Structure 1
Amino acid sequence: MIIVTGATGTLNGATVEHLLQRVPAADVGVSVRDPGRAKHLAERGVRVRQGTYDDPAALRHSFADAEQILLVSSSDLAADVLAQHRTAIDAAVDAGAQRILYTSAQGAGFDTPYPPHAIHAASEAHLAASGVAWTALRNGFFGDLEQMVGPWQESGRITRPAAGPFPWVDRRDAGEAAASILAGEATFDGPVDVVPNAPVTFEDFAAAASELTGRTIERVVVDDEQWVSDEVAKGVPEEAARFILTMFQATRTGFFAHGDPVLNRLLGREPRSITDQLADQLAR
């Protein structure tokens, strides 16, 4: 059985949907905080059990009978995320999983220009010491597109601090790639970059937005501290704004300025471009 955590979210929700196109529903299970939000999966024959990274016993129950387990990295900024990851990995080992997959991030390491990646590196180290076969899906950056580029449709500008190229991935593509690996269409031991062939810049986003709308969308560079102040004035917690700022700062070093063909191979096509994603945003 293949068990997927975080299956009510966009990323691993896409993984489950694509898994169901590849394997019987009876071979798929999900471990979720709120089983009520996964009723649509239970109705299709997926095993739904409650589990959280803060409850080892519940995790072991939700992971029972698993051959493979896909662990989504925690997004709980108020929690000890590394401790949560270790709890989930240990529960997967205790449940007898033969392979553990973990959604990591490109460039994970203890000495990188992007400090949050140390958590992924420590989680990968715990996986490597687990004694179980493992795969770290080092995804590119993804998230809420409007949060990334701002309200460009209203302002006509993408106003962000100075930044370099970075790998922007559509969550749906990352989820589909994970399903391909879980279904046995490809096997990777250890870390693998799941990123587009080429990174993008905010200038690329502005050009794509201009082409889509027939308007001139400007890329405006703003001072780091000014950007933080502006975000705080909009109601964003300063800690969250500074967390995002570290990403912009890291891209300036060129650390993320490389792609990889693996995502294309896993999808069997080109991943969704930034033009595709902006068009989806306009259609909503």
Structure 2
Amino acid sequence: MIIVTGATGALNGLTVEYLLKRLPPSDIGVSVRNPDRAQHLANRGVRVRQGGYDEPVALRDSFADAEQVLLVSSSDVTADVNAQHRTAIDAAVEAGAKRILYTSTHGTDFNTPYPPLAINAAAEQYLAESGVAWTALRNGFYGHLGQLLGPWQATGTIAKPADGPFAWVDRRDAGEAAATILTSAEAFAGPVNLAPASPVTLADFAAQASQLSGRSVERIVVDDEEWVAGETAAGVPETAARFTLAMFQATRSGHFSQPDHTLSRLLGREPRSIADQLTEQIAG
């Protein structure tokens, strides 16, 4: 059985959907904090059990009978996420899982200005010491284009701090790749980079947006502190603004610029491009 955590979230929710195209539902289980939110999966025959990263006993029970466990990285900003990841890995080991997979990040490293990269590096290190086969799914960046680019359709500008090349993927492709790895006979041992062959910049987004929308979209580089001040004036907590700023700073130092062809190989096609994603955004 394959057990997936975070299955009511966007990424691993997609992973479960792709698994259901490959496996009977009786071969799939999910471990979720709120089983009511996974009722749609239970209705389709997926095993649903309650388990949170702060509940080792419940978590271990939710992993029972698992051959593989896919752990989503914690997004709980109020928690000790390193401890949560260790708890989840320990529970999977104690439940007898033969392989543990973890949703990591492209560019993961201890030496980085962007905190999630060090958190993921710690989780990968703990996995390597677990004594169980493991795979780190080092996904490229994914998310909502509105958050990445800002209101460019209204303003005609992408006004953000200076950036460098970064791996941007469509969440659907990341979910499909995870399901492919989970159902593959290939070992995929250790870190696996799931990034496009060509990194992009915000200037690339501006050029594509201009071409697709038929209007000029300008990339404007905003000074770091000026951008933080603007975000806080708009109601964003300063800690959140500086967290996002750290991501832009990490792109400048090349943390996310390494190309890779593994994602294309797993999908059997090229990943969805930024043009594809912008087209969907424009269409509404």
| Both structures adopt the same fold (TM-score exceeding 0.5) | yes
- Deviation of 1:184 after TM superposition, in Å, equals 1.5
- Deviation of 1:34 after TM superposition, in Å, equals 1.2
Residue type of the alignment partner of 2:123 = S
Please name the residue that 1:190 is paired with: 190
Does 2:246 align with 1:246? yes
Please name the residue that 1:84 is paired with: 84
Distance 1:153 1:110, change over 3 A: same
Residue type of the alignment partner of 1:137 = L
Please name the residue that 1:19 is paired with: 19
Distance of 2:53 and 2:115 partners within structure 1: 23
| Aligned partners of 2:213 and 2:282 also within 8 Å | no
Residue type of the alignment partner of 2:250 = A
- Deviation of 1:211 after TM superposition, in Å, equals 1.3
Aligned length: 284
Map 1:28-43 → 2, pairs under 5 A: 28-43=28-43
Residue type of the alignment partner of 2:239 = E
Instruction: Point out where structure 1 has 5 or more consecutive residues left out of the alignment.
Output: none
Greater Cα offset, 115-124 or 264-273: 115-124
Distance of 1:20 and 1:94 partners within structure 2: 26
Residue type of the alignment partner of 2:249 = Q
SS at match of 1:219: strand
Map 1:205-224 → 2, pairs under 5 A: 205-224=205-224
Please name the residue that 2:157 is paired with: 157
Distance of 1:255 and 1:102 partners within structure 2: 19
SS at match of 2:96: coil
Does 2:81 align with 1:118? no
| Aligned partners of 1:163 and 1:202 also within 8 Å | yes
Map 1:87-102 → 2, pairs under 5 A: 87-102=87-102
1:82-137 deviation per Cα after TM superposition (whole angstroms, max 9, x unaligned): 11100000000010000000001112121234343111111111101111000001
| Aligned partners of 1:162 and 1:223 also within 8 Å | yes
Greater Cα offset, 158-167 or 185-194: 185-194
Distance of 1:8 and 1:115 partners within structure 2: 25
| Aligned partners of 1:7 and 1:16 also within 8 Å | yes
Map 1:41-190 → 2, pairs under 5 A: 41-184=41-184, 186-190=186-190
1:224-266 deviation per Cα after TM superposition (whole angstroms, max 9, x unaligned): 0011111111111111110110111111122322210000011
Distance of 1:41 and 1:282 partners within structure 2: 31
| Aligned partners of 2:114 and 2:243 also within 8 Å | no
Distance of 2:89 and 2:40 partners within structure 1: 27
Distance of 1:276 and 1:233 partners within structure 2: 33
TM-score, structure 2 normalization: 0.98
Distance of 1:132 and 1:253 partners within structure 2: 33
Distance of 1:12 and 1:77 partners within structure 2: 19
Distance of 2:25 and 2:199 partners within structure 1: 35
Q: Indicate the RMSD between aligned Cα atoms, in angstroms.
A: 1.1
- Deviation of 1:185 after TM superposition, in Å, equals 5.2
Identity %: 70
Residue type of the alignment partner of 1:232 = T
Distance of 2:110 and 2:175 partners within structure 1: 26
| Aligned partners of 1:137 and 1:192 also within 8 Å | yes
Instruction: Point out where structure 2 has 5 or more consecutive residues left out of the alignment.
Output: none
Residue type of the alignment partner of 2:197 = N
1:29-60 deviation per Cα after TM superposition (whole angstroms, max 9, x unaligned): 00111111111111111001111101011101
TM-score, structure 1 normalization: 0.98
Distance of 2:50 and 2:155 partners within structure 1: 43
Residue type of the alignment partner of 1:54 = D
Map 1:240-279 → 2, pairs under 5 A: 240-279=240-279
- Deviation of 1:279 after TM superposition, in Å, equals 1.6
Distance of 2:39 and 2:275 partners within structure 1: 34
Distance of 1:278 and 1:64 partners within structure 2: 42
